[in-house]
Structure 1
């Protein structure tokens, strides 16, 4: 069959088809990048053990804070009343942190941030991974890995801190050294 269309009509037909295809794809893309539902995100948070990770992080934060309070007590050579006051401040601080970082406070924040950051497909894929044996193995081994990473980083930084301490001591000694007598003026 011989086409009776002119080249201009064929071009318009192709343009119309291309436009229809583009509009069709534009309608599909938002459906593909649909936001995750609260249920999708809750599935991911459960599979990734987000709450238990938070629960194990809080005692570590409290231990670091306890060390800081002990250092303050040692540096200031507090009497018993000062130590008791510092202990009350530490307890109040722990209560505030525990309340602010409780799962009931943070879960809604997680949900909103995950919705803003990930698509439904992302969230479902991550949930499926964390529900898999490989994902569970990752979750089981991550705390030990992070502990090893922290030890390795501390070992790497220790020589740097020694050098930094030497530099700081040199700077402090320069500032506290008596000023040298001015050189005699040349004639």
Structure 2
């Protein structure tokens, strides 16, 4: 069937194509289903990754408490209370970040952010040998990046320390 005379010019055909593409866009960007998101979360080992982050977060928190304790002279009672607060904080953090509470948050955010096509493509990737290799090597990659970043930042931090020492050595009131 030939196009109506109105759509025989190039600009009119482009406008028609744009209108048809725009009308079809919502159908192309269908939201993922719960099953799609669950597949991706399982394939990407999201729960394992979250569970692996908890000890790191607790270690960072423990360092903060230790620094706080070192910066003050604490009585044995204060030290004991601080330890109880730290334990309670760890427990609260573990409860708040439990997979049963976080999984719905992940699912909602994935649904808001990605289309069904995106989620299925990511799930296929993570289910592939390459995706599994990426997941297996990510912790080592992150550790290597942290070491490299610290080495990269060391000269900058040394320069900042020199500047700070110079500022602190200046007489006050100037």
* Common topology (TM > 0.5): yes
Look at both structures and tell me which one has the larger radius of gyration over its CA atoms.
1
**What is the TM-score normalised by the length of structure 2?**
0.86
* Local SS of the residue matching 1:76: coil
The answer for unaligned runs of 5 or more in structure 2 is none
Matched, 1:91 2:91: no
Alignment of 1:82-121 (within 5 A): 82-121=78-117
- For the structure 1 residues 21 and 74, does the alpha-carbon distance in structure 2 shift closer, same or farther, using more than 3 Å as the test? closer
Is the CA contact (8 Å cut-off) linking 2:7 and 2:16 kept in structure 1?
no
1:150 is displaced (CA, Å) by 0.4
Aligned equivalents of 2:45, 2:4: Cα separation in 1:
59
Distance of aligned partners of 1:14 and 1:59 in 2 relative to their CA distance in 1, 3 Å threshold? same
Q: Is 1:174 the counterpart of 2:170 in the alignment? A: yes
Q: Does 1:31 align with 2:31?
A: no
Q: Tell me how far 1:20 sits from its aligned partner.
A: 7.7
Name the CA shift for 1:11/1:155 in 2 (closer, same or farther; >3 Å): same
Q: Deviations over 1:73-113 (max 9, x none)?
A: 11102121121111111111111211221111211111111
**With structure 1 as the length reference, what TM-score do the two structures score?**
0.81
- CA apart distance, 1:10: 5.3
| Structure 1 stretches lacking a partner, 5+ long | 1-8, 181-187
25-34 or 154-163: bigger deviation: 25-34
2:154 aligned residue: 158
Size of the aligned set, in residue pairs, is: 169
